[in-house]
Chains A and B, each alone.
Chain A
Amino acid sequence: MSKIEFTLARNRSGRLVCTLADGSVHANITPVRAFPLAAPNEGLALMSQDGHEIVWVDTLDELNPDQRALIDSELTGREFMPEISRLNSVSSFATPSTWSVTTNRGTTAFVLKGEEDIRRLPNNGLLIADNHGILYLIADRKALDRHSRKLLERFL
């Protein structure tokens, strides 16, 4: 799809509204990435309130700056996957265990319910789900510092 086929705006209740080339207006649009982990910049859909695909975007680069800004702002408010840069401490090596971590979104602590909540991704990546279902990403566990790696090893 080319750049001008739809326009985006934010309405007074803070929701995205999408107007298509044929003049149809869709309120409460949510942008959703098709491959949030494997290819975040490829494949983005604008979904209507009732869960139907309104617009498909092949790559984010194809959006014009205004659209891009709105979509980015909506995505930052929606996508939440803190990337762990360091494990500061863990309460125990047996689960459930409370991990104190530094992430790209600040430091926090979460409870890991069991080792099976750690999912392996390609290229040494890990995806860790906490007890509330929040996902934490470790992009490359080999790239962590020694201390973090040592703690992490015990759970893998």
Chain B
Amino acid sequence: MTSVREWIDSGRHAVSERWHNGPRWMRWAVIAAVIVFFYALPNREFYQWLGPIPTTGSNFGQVLFTISIYVLLAVGLNIVVGFAGLLDLGYFGFFAVGAYTVAVFTSPSSDLKTLWPWLLALPLAIVLTMISGVMLGTPTLRLRGDYLAIVTLGFAEMIRVAATSSAFLKGQRGFNQIPHPPGSYSDGKPIFGVLDPRPYYWLVLTLIILVVIGVRNLNRSRVGRAWISIREDEDAAQLMGVPTFKFKLWAFASGAAIGGLAGALFAGKQNFVSSQNLELLNSIIILAAVILGGSGNIVGAIVGGGLVAYLIERFRGIEFFGIELYEYRFMLFGVVLVVMMIFRPQGLIPNRRRAAEFKDRRKEVIVGG
């Protein structure tokens, strides 16, 4: 066991060395190849060569769309949990705010009857989720400790209850005929239709790339340094003059905005939003994805989100000694997380600093004494 781990570790180390010390063009070439691969992935002509990787039980394009939404959510939650170190247990609530904002302003079943096009509702959805993030964060982020975790958990539950029981939000009947994103091919057919999920996937993929570029730049700026200091020692950060509350709120609100964006994209694809879309456990799944991938590392969050969503979809329709694996997906993730926490708490693709934080000598005292 140990030797296998050492072997894997040394292999990973070698790859990481080569990555960081290799020439710039090589890194760009690899990134470009990865991006091209993912744009090509939903095409049958391409994925039929990939053996058992594509899902068999369901439409692979649809699965890829779902995965891309999870990846976007993981990238957003990583800002909150990974960068600023805030435990948000209700992140999926922001997804719901985004999806419902689009639904309420665009769907004919909405009481508002505004019937906006999707593209008009999109910025509003992002702004409203951001505002809800600020409203939730302002009272709680001043407090230390676990309050935030509890309040965010309560927030997601509150959204779910509101969606289920308020007449305005239509409960299980939901909102239908939510319009799709705009655009048509040269022959007049809409790009974003009902049958082909691929354009939606490409849209989300493109947005993921843009969001990642933005987040990466933010994280490398003064803002990023402030986040790290808050995550590592909030009191010390404040003593060094970092306005901790402001930056926590920023992390929380920008994470929320990305969650809202994901929700709006989902609503635009799905055509239908109801309280049944609000599985509370999704918050936990996304959190698990971020931790699994390597909290604080953008690539880690992408890999974690992609892997978790893919595995969930891969379980669908697979029976194991007569047991439908999909039914046990949450339990399996629980087990995987526990195992990860024991053997690799810093995640699959850890952040360099995070790894060092786990080696913090102050913790030796606790272990030793």
Q: Does B associate with A? A: no
* Chain B residues within CB distance 8 Å of chain A: none
